[in-house]
Amino acid sequence: MDRQKEITKLVNVLRRLARMAQQANWTGGNTDGASYGVQQYNRVLERLVQIDPDVETVFSPLDDASPFTVIAMAARQLAAYYEDELKPNSSWQKIYHTAFDPEGFKDFWRQSAKDIEDFGEYIRENIETWANHQREEHVNADDKKDKASE
């Protein structure tokens, strides 16, 4: 298998691992699941180190007792490390930039939101940005009202 294709597959595994670990954390999953998640993350990292030795300078294997939150965070960060290398037609490439771009969202929807989990992931990843944007708009509107009443 060529390098690019294998990295894409491994990044997909990391994203799903992160999603499952986060959901298990929210729903109170058991430690057996966390143990499996750690093993899976460490196997993916080991393979990525074989493909790209430089990744080892940034990422290290997880401790066997790592909780779901750590598994989710580590998997997301490792997946993000390869985001720029994903194929341009990948549904995940630069997804974060579609938050305020209607055309970007339409492209994302056409390419990847057929699976409801992808859409849920998109919402979870962007909700904080949207909330901050709304707060900024309200603060700016309040500032304009205050200046107008002076």
Q: How far from chain centre, in Å, is Cα 129?
A: 14
**Secondary element (H or E) of residue 135:** helix 116-149
Query: What's the pLDDT at 135?
Result: 72
Res 150 pLDDT > 80: no
Please state, in angstroms and rounded to a whole number, the distance separating the CA atoms of residues 46 and 41.
Answer: 9
pLDDT of 90 > 50? The answer is no
109 vs 65, residue with greater confidence? 65
Lowest mean pLDDT among 28-32, 94-98, 117-121, 146-150: 94-98
Q: What is the pLDDT of residue 64?
A: 93
> How many distinct helices (H) and strands (E) make up the chain?
5, 0
Say how many residues make up the chain.
Answer: 150
Q: Which residue has the higher pLDDT, 71 or 104?
A: 71
How distant, in Å, are the alpha carbons of 45, 47, 106, 111, 136 from that of 91? 22, 23, 12, 6, 29
DSSP-based three-state secondary structure for 145: helix
